[in-house]
Chain A
């Protein structure tokens, strides 16, 4: 079945440093979504990428979808303490809306 791998599992950074999490699918995806889950909270939708090679930005966050639509990345520039949480990618295949989640990358930011 479809698998979505996400690395790294944990990332500790100093405030102001950059952060990147990577997602890799075993199959071609129709779209990929990114979520953020704060400690004790629920996943919050950040963005969806649909097109091959797509790049989207949200302030300090940059999301990329690979040309082959099998990998994606989330890059945060100049992290802040408010960025702490676990970032999940989730992909769907074909016409299905079922999401397969990566295991997440837990980000901690030292002030």
Chain B
């Protein structure tokens, strides 16, 4: 199998606070994980590529200081939304690369910033 978990599944936070989202590959090691954002009824947009032991690669237009990514081990990547604002409210989904060109997605985290 290829199971990817995300925690938390839902989070509500106040504007100005920071939120950490964890992405774990449960039954395989993933040197590469990806973070996506999905707006309601929209497609997935790649935010960044997370590489174990090195800095993440961010897509154009994504603020690296706002969306901090840490891939500290072969099974865990974290995304921290710093100083969250209501416009950061979204569905954040991670995926983990099991083998070449094969990604498995986590269940997603719905973030609501009030």
Contacts and interface: CB of A to CB of B under 8 A. Distances in A.
A1 to B, nearest CB: 8
Interface residues of A, number: 22
**Chain B at the A interface: SS class:** strand
| Most A Cβ at <10 Å: residue of B44, B106, B107 | B44
Interface in B88-114: 93, 97, 100-108
Interface residues of B, number: 20
A104 B43 contact: yes
A42 B102 CA distance: 16
Given A43-B93, A103-B43, A97 B108 contact: no
Interface string A78-102: 0000000000101010000111111
Interface string B24-48: 0000000010100000011111100
A102 B43 contact: yes
A36 B41 CA distance: 14
B49 interface: yes
Interface of B: 32, 34, 41-46, 49, 93, 97, 100-108
Interface of A: 31, 33, 35, 41-45, 48, 50, 88, 90, 92, 97-104, 106
